[in-house]
Each structure stands twice: as C-alpha cells, then as structure tokens.
Amino acid sequence: MASNKINSFRNGPDEDGHFGIFGGRYVAETLMPLIHDVEKTYNEAKNDPAFKQEFHELLKEYVGRPNPLYHAKRMTEHLGGAKIYFKREELNHTGAHKINNCVGQILLARRMGKTRIIAETGAGQHGVATATVCALFGMPCVVYMGAKDIERQKPNVFRMKLLGAEVIPVTSGSESLKDSMNEALRDWVSNVEDTFYIIGTAAGPHPYPELVRDFQCVIGDEAREQILEKEGRLPDSLVACVGGGSNAIGLFHPFLDDDVNIVAVEAAGFGVNTDKHAASLSGGAPGVLHGNRTFLLMDDDGQIFEAHSISAGLDYPGIGPEHSHLHDIGRVKYVPIDDKEALEAFQLCTKLEGIIPALESAHAIAHVMKMAPTLPEDHIIVMGLSGRGDKDIFTVADALGEEI
C-alpha cells in the first residue's frame, strides 16, 4: 500500500497512474470506462476491512501463508560470505507467488459483478493460478497462451484443463507471452460487459500495476516481520528476479524507504549484447505497449522484439512501469543473468538445499552466488524464491542434453 509520508519511494502512482514518467492508461477507448470501473472498485475495496479480511483469510487457509523465511545454511556455507535467506513463495498452493495476485483480483471481479475471467500466460504459472481461483469461485476461465509456449509447457496446459479452464492457443505474431497479452486484450474489448481480465504481472494500464503490486506486497510484509523476528534487524540486501516484475515489486516495496540495498535480476538469455534476451532495462528504451509506458525491447522504428529467455516466465519484452521508475531514479539496481548462469544456479540450489527452484527464481539465485562471496558474514541477504521448478525439468533436461 502507498505511504503517507511526503518523501517516500512508496507514494506512486499518481491519480493518472504514473510512476515518474512511466505507467499511464494507453488502451482502446472501448476499455476506458471499464478501466475506470476497475480503479473505482479497487479504491473502495482496499479501504474495506471486509475485503481485506477475506483476502488474507484466503491467503492463509487456501494459499498456505505465511510461508517461511528460510535460512539457506548450505548455500551460505558453500558461497562463504553473506548470510542467505529465501522467502519461500514456491511453497504456496500452485507453486509460485502468482496465486497471491489471482486471489485478490478474483475478489475484485466478483465485487464488480463480472462472471467470466480471462488471463494471459507465458510459462503457464499465472494461467494455472488463474484457473485455480476460477475453479474455487465457480467462474468460467479462458486462458490465452502462445502456441510455442503450449508446446514447451504441456504439463501446465493439462493442469489448466483439469481445473476447468479453456486454453486458447495464440498463433498471431511471435506466438509468445506478448502476443497472448494482445489476444487477451482483444477478447476483453469484445466482451466488456461480463468479463474481468486478471493480468498476471505488475504491468498493463493503471490501476493494474498498483493493484498487482499491493496484492503481492504480502511477500515483503511477511519477510519484514520474519527477518525482524529472526535477526532483530532489517536485511542488508534484497534480491529477486524480474520479468514483468510482480514478485520483485511485492518483496521490495515494503523496504523501499529503508536503508536496504535492492537488486533485481533480469533475464539476459544468450547475453544482453545479443538479440536474444529479455532484459528490458539493461537493453531496452522507454516506449508504450500493453497499456503503459515502460522500458521495452524494440527496434529504431518502435516495433517490439520477441524476447528470449530459457525461463518462459521472464520471456517478455517489457517490464512493469514501477520498475522502470525505480531504475530511472536509481533506487533499485537491475542486473542481467544469462541462461547459462541460471542453469548453474538451478542445479546448485537443488543439490545443496534440496529445493528445485523455478528457472525464473534461479536467475535471482545466480546473482546471489555472485554477490554473497564478496560480502562479510554479517551481511544479510533476503532473496525471493518465487516459484518451484517442477515445471522446468523438461527444459533443464533438454539444456543439459539428457533424455527423460
């Protein structure tokens, strides 16, 4: 939630949805009245104790929160430096942080009287989380997923089907996450009366970046309370991976006004100097897409590139607008980690801690592996372990040249 302090990093967005020069509402006119309705409903809901209570009740009883802040002793010992904690979002129901946001948004959808849910998905984690809350609330669910992603994430596709969702393959454009988002927006424009669009990350037109962040702030709020209990003080550093950036903003936001070093890790694919990566801040420029102004990967003519990352969840040519702003003002440092480094981190974490991390989260681990050895033992790092890696075993096996 936004801060009341005047000099706060937590005051955004302004009433038109801007974080500095980023954010805004760049959508088709047909959607604008609906976007205003979402904003109005959200503003009422966030001040309604009954809404908050139902949200937190579901997070506790259904999602399984609070999840632990776990001291990764073996990683700490192995790396020989900073003390490493994992915020265990991968232990949530459905196996990632995505469910926090879906619970919040379906409550909003019901509050608005909407009866049909749509979503976009890349790796399928947000699609599964959306299909899950739709099953729980008895609402029909349509998930748009790139034809290419359907091919590489078959288990999640079948999960969504079992949960009762209709998965529609997207064959337009590059057949990946950005095209799924285009297709979901086309559906929404065509079904404004009854449909609510559950956007999976802290991006899109205002008020989505704000409300997704607020729903995900449970990550950072819990981590703050837990580290104070365990260590009696705040951490020195926070680390999380960013694609759209919802798990990162959820972890970071409650600490923005504190003396804490904050690092976000972008997916560098084959490297930020190649044309195959997904690091919009390291390798992109400001532009306008999918309802907001933010850093984008694009050519000189403003045509959007297809992103690349070994992790389908980070495979998006943009990033949430609040991250663009935090990058702009220098409050958060954004660093790239490539496919190879993420794969090594994936294996190390699995072997040392007995935790198979999502390839997305493995990007954060890879950066922790770089920074921890350079830091003293009393330096505390809290890292967001955003999801579990069961979904990625086929991709990893393939990359390691093993048949399963």
The footprint of another protein (CB under 8 A) covers: 16, 24-34, 172-173, 178-179, 181-182, 185-186, 189-193, 285-291, 293, 296, 298, 300-304
Measured CA to CA, the distance from residue 186 to residue 285 in angstroms comes to 26
Nearer to another protein, 19 or 85 (CB): 19
Whether residue 386 lies in the annotated active site? yes
Question: Are the C-beta atoms of 382 and 237 separated by less than 8 Å?
Answer: yes
Nearer to another protein, 88 or 293 (CB): 293
Question: Which residue of the set 98, 114, 148, 178 is catalytic?
Answer: 98
Question: Which residue of the set 120, 183, 210, 222 is catalytic?
Answer: 120
List alpha helices for 63-116, DSSP H: 73-79, 98-111
Nearest to 144 by CA among 114, 174, 116, 177: 177
Measured CA to CA, the distance from residue 186 to residue 174 in angstroms comes to 16
Nearer to another protein, 100 or 121 (CB): 121
Nearer to another protein, 91 or 203 (CB): 203
Task: Output the smallest distance, CB 204 to another protein, in A.
Answer: 11
Strands (DSSP E) along 315-378, which ranges? 333-337
- Phi, then psi, of 4 in degrees rounded to 5: -90, -15
Nearest to 380 by CA among 241, 258, 213: 258
Nearer to another protein, 34 or 310 (CB): 34
Whether residue 98 lies in the annotated active site? yes
Task: Output the smallest distance, CB 193 to another protein, in A.
Answer: 8
Task: Output the smallest distance, CB 191 to another protein, in A.
Answer: 8
Question: Are the C-beta atoms of 297 and 280 separated by less than 8 Å?
Answer: yes
Nearer to another protein, 192 or 329 (CB): 192
Whether residue 73 lies in the annotated active site? no
Measured CA to CA, the distance from residue 267 to residue 321 in angstroms comes to 17
Amino acid identity of residue 384, one-letter, is G
Task: Output the smallest distance, CB 226 to another protein, in A.
Answer: 40
> Any residues with CB less than 8 A from the CB of 399 and at least 6 apart, and which?
310, 339, 343
> Any residues with CB less than 8 A from the CB of 4 and at least 6 apart, and which?
none
Q: Terminal CA-to-CA distance of the chain, rounded, Å?
A: 45
Residue 59, CA distances (Å) to 39, 41, 91, 141 in order: 22, 20, 12, 21
> Any residues with CB less than 8 A from the CB of 77 and at least 6 apart, and which?
none
Task: Output the smallest distance, CB 241 to another protein, in A.
Answer: 24
Count of beta carbons in the 10 Å neighbourhood of residue 359: 27
Residues that are catalytic: 98, 120, 386
